[in-house]
Structure 1
Amino acid sequence: MQESRIKLESNGGERLDTFLRRELPLAAKIEGDFSNSKIRRLIMAGTIQVNGKVVNRPAFELRGKSSIEVRFDAERFFYEKQPDDVAFEMTDSSILHEDENLIFVDKPYNYPVEQTITGNRANLHDAVVDYLWKRNPSLRNPPYVGIMHRLDRTTSGVILFTKTRAVNGAVSELFQSHDLTKQYLAIVEDKKNVEKSFTVEMYMGRITGKSRQGKWGEVPESRGGQYSKTDFRNLRKITVEGRPCLLIECSLHTGHTHQIRVHLASRGLPILGDTLYGGTPAKRLYLHSEKLTFSLNNKQYYVESSIKI
């Protein structure tokens, strides 16, 4: 089935993902699993236009009468390759920090954050829900766990979930306004004359067209590229899987799909294990969410995770 363009009308007053979850199955006239994660991924892929402008935020608020166009390919929408995920059990040691509103978890690599298109797949969100419920078995229903941001399946490290809906708005605003610090660690093969610190700026977009495996790269702003910026710091030499490597600190100014991977590859420093962007095959893709820092309700959060080599 080829891509079609589906046009919808909204009177506003709700989130874009909520609207599409209800209206898209009716408009597409196709039976299938239109799950929350599929709808979010459809939006983030840049296939949705609201009043003629691409919107890639699931939480985008529809206001007033709006015209919505969806580029919809049913074959791609319902298809997803099943990768080899690691086995993971949520325990006390998986928690980096927790209070009455938030829980920070040390995510393993090669493990999805949430349920994916295929369904019935182990994921971190479900693991956190199960863990909190087992800790408080008197609850009649599963405890609430809100997803505020995501890490790629291959990325390890700090990830945040909310435990109460009351803080969702404030936390979501932190991520949308970039009023927080996100710092990553990447391991690249050692190359000569790598600067102690450097910055990469470019306009980015998807460069694989209809390929089922998404790949991003430099795309002119005139063709829909989005501005991206990352600061890098060459920390030290290390040996990983018998190879001489460099440990690179990555500080994000913006947050786009594969941003760190694309930026490092553009400097001839693809991440070890990142074969999509020219990296040498390895046991894993060595990208790690190291630190997450922000202030919420007059409380300062500084949560850190060490990369496991």
Structure 2
Amino acid sequence: MSHSWQMNNMDTRFTLKFLADKDGQLLREALAQWQISKRALTAIKFEGGLLTVNGLEQNVRYPLHIGDQVEVKFPPEEKSEGLTIEYGKLSVIYEDEALLVLDKPAHQSTIPSREHPTKSIANDVCGYFEQQGLASTVHVVTRLDRDTSGLLCIAKHAHIHHLMGLAQRLGNVSREYEAIVHGHLAEDWQSIIAPIGRKDSSIIEREVREDGQYAHTDVTVLKRFAVEGEPMTHIRLKLHTGRTHQIRVHMSYVGHPLIGDDLYGGSRKHINRQALHCVSLSLQHPLTKDIMYFTSSLKDDMQQILNN
């Protein structure tokens, strides 16, 4: 199997091209092998997509021959209702026809919420896509809390989002963070495995609880230091699962809440947000299958604490 993707000025629909490698295989079976979801096929059929073999439109029951050129045109996407198009500044680390990797500042939501309905990354990406003439909406692959800074990944199309979801379940998307926490951690390395669920008394707060979802975080100490006599530790964290507030909850659970994280027991004396930054993101590209690795430096507010 080989494939490529294209966008052209005449047709803004996302298009994938494949080369058939089995005689007699039904187009439906080949599309499943190429990881085109049933949902995508339904959208292609009813929402303005197109399936062609050697340039001629065919249905999914068409029998393929080795060397047939299959083209899949996905329908244009419409943004979610309530997602306002805005044109804020984006810090683009990497971009191609499939993926957008951004460096998110602190104090900006990834997606709109009731408290912050505008000025999110998603709002700005909608505007960015519109300026590119891209018939797509925002598909967040790796999300960050509003006050967490660093790398996040967005898929430019529903099919790419589907492929990235499969990759995440296989462990082919990896993120590492750096944080500054209260106190000195006793061990240079530890693995925290503790289930996380929503706190009964809050719609926002999470906690470690027996009936929670499995959550696993590895913690490596980078530096133990003190600011104005207060002990702190600079740590690096690897996520094996992606639960809401996972790092914040786990570090609070082991008695070392993040500096600035007043929701989970941290103090805001030295910084006005949780001191947490996504420093690295590695993934397998959903189309080329190349392994890609991105890094991001700590923001000034965290760096300032470390320099004290």
State TM-score, norm by structure 1: 0.62
**What's the offset of the Cα at 1:302?**
0.5
SS at match of 1:248: strand
Asked if 1:261 corresponds to 2:252, the answer is no
- Structure 2's unaligned 5+ residue stretches are 1-37, 41-78, 303-308
Shift of the 167–235 alpha-carbon distance from structure 1 to 2, 3 Å rule, reads: same
CA contact (8 A) 2:216 2:240 kept: yes
Q: CA deviation at 1:117?
A: 2.9
**Match 1:287 to one of 258, 276, 280:** 276
Cα distance in 2 for residues equivalent to 1:119 and 1:187: 26
Aligned-partner SS, 2:215: strand
Are residue 217 (structure 1) and residue 207 (structure 2) matched?
yes
Q: Which residue of 2 aligns with 1:194?
A: 186
Residue 164 of structure 1: CA displacement?
Answer: 3.2
Aligned pair partner of 1:305 in 296, 300, 305: 296
Superposed counterparts of 1:102-113, under 5 Å: 102-113=99-110
8 Å Cα contact 2:195/2:214 also seen in 1: yes
Deviation at 1:234, TM superposition (A): 0.3
Q: What is the match of residue 20 of structure 1?
A: none
CA contact (8 A) 1:129 1:142 kept: no
Offset, 1:124: 0.4
Partner of 2:237 in structure 1? 250
The answer to whether the Cα contact below 8 Å between 2:196 and 2:206 also exists between their aligned partners in 1 is yes
Per-residue CA deviation, residues 72-125 of structure 1 (Å, 9 max, x unaligned), is xxxxxxxxxxxxxxxx9424xx11111221110001112111122357421101
Answer yes or no: is the 8 Å Cα contact 1:178–1:254 preserved in 2: no
Aligned to 1:185: 178
Contact 2:258 2:274 (8 Å CA) reproduced: yes
1:231 — aligned with what? 218
Match of 1:90 in 2: 89
> 1:163 offset after TM fit, Å?
2.0
> Is contact 1:130–1:142 with CA below 8 Å preserved after alignment?
no
Structure 2 contact 226–232 (Cα < 8 Å) conserved? yes
The answer as to whether partners of 2:220 and 2:236 remain within 8 angstroms in 1 is yes
Q: Is 1:37–1:115's contact at 8 Å kept on the other side of the alignment?
A: no
Q: What amino acid is aligned across from residue 257 of structure 1 in structure 2?
A: T
Q: How does 1:1-309 map to 2 (within 5 A)?
A: 89-91=88-90, 94-117=91-114, 120-134=117-131, 136=132, 139=133, 143-191=136-184, 194-207=186-199, 209-212=200-203, 214-220=204-210, 224-237=211-224, 245-281=232-268, 282-296=271-285, 297-308=288-299, 309=302
Q: What secondary structure does 1:227 align onto?
A: coil
One-letter amino acid of the structure 2 residue matched with residue 211 of structure 1 = S
Instruction: Measure, in 2, the Cα distance between the counterparts of 1:132 and 1:277.
Output: 36
Secondary structure of 2:181's counterpart equals: strand
1:118-165 CA distance string (max 9 Å, x none): 57421101112223434x3xx3x7654322232111111100112234
Instruction: Give yes or no for contact 2:100–2:156 (8 Å, CA) kept in 1.
Output: yes
Moved over 4 A (4+): 35-38, 238-244
Give the distance between the partners of 1:105 and 1:228, measured in 2 at CA.
25
The change in CA–CA distance for 1:95 and 1:240 in structure 2 (over 3 A counts) is farther
Structure number with bigger Rg: 2
Q: Distance in 1 between matches of 2:253 and 2:99?
A: 36
* Separation in structure 2 between the aligned mates of residue 258 and residue 199 of structure 1, nearest angstrom: 17
The corresponding residue for 1:72 is: none
Aligned residue number for residue 18 of structure 2: none
CA distance in structure 2 between the partners assigned to 1:187 and 1:252 by the alignment: 16
Whole-Å separation in 1 of the counterparts to 2:116 and 2:147: 18
The alpha-carbon distance between structure 1 residues 258 and 37, as it changes in their structure 2 partners (threshold 3 A), is farther
Letter in 1 for 2:266: G
Superposed displacement of residue 170, structure 1? 0.9
Q: TM-score, normalised by structure 2?
A: 0.62
State the Cα deviation string for residues 9-54 of structure 1 (Å, max 9, x = none): xxxx869xxxxxxxxxxxxxxxxxxx9699xxxxxxxxxxxxxxxx
Q: Which residue of 2 aligns with 1:65?
A: none
Preserved CA contact (<8 Å) 1:37 1:116: no
Q: Are the counterparts in 2 of residues 202 and 227 from structure 1 also a CA contact under 8 Å?
A: yes
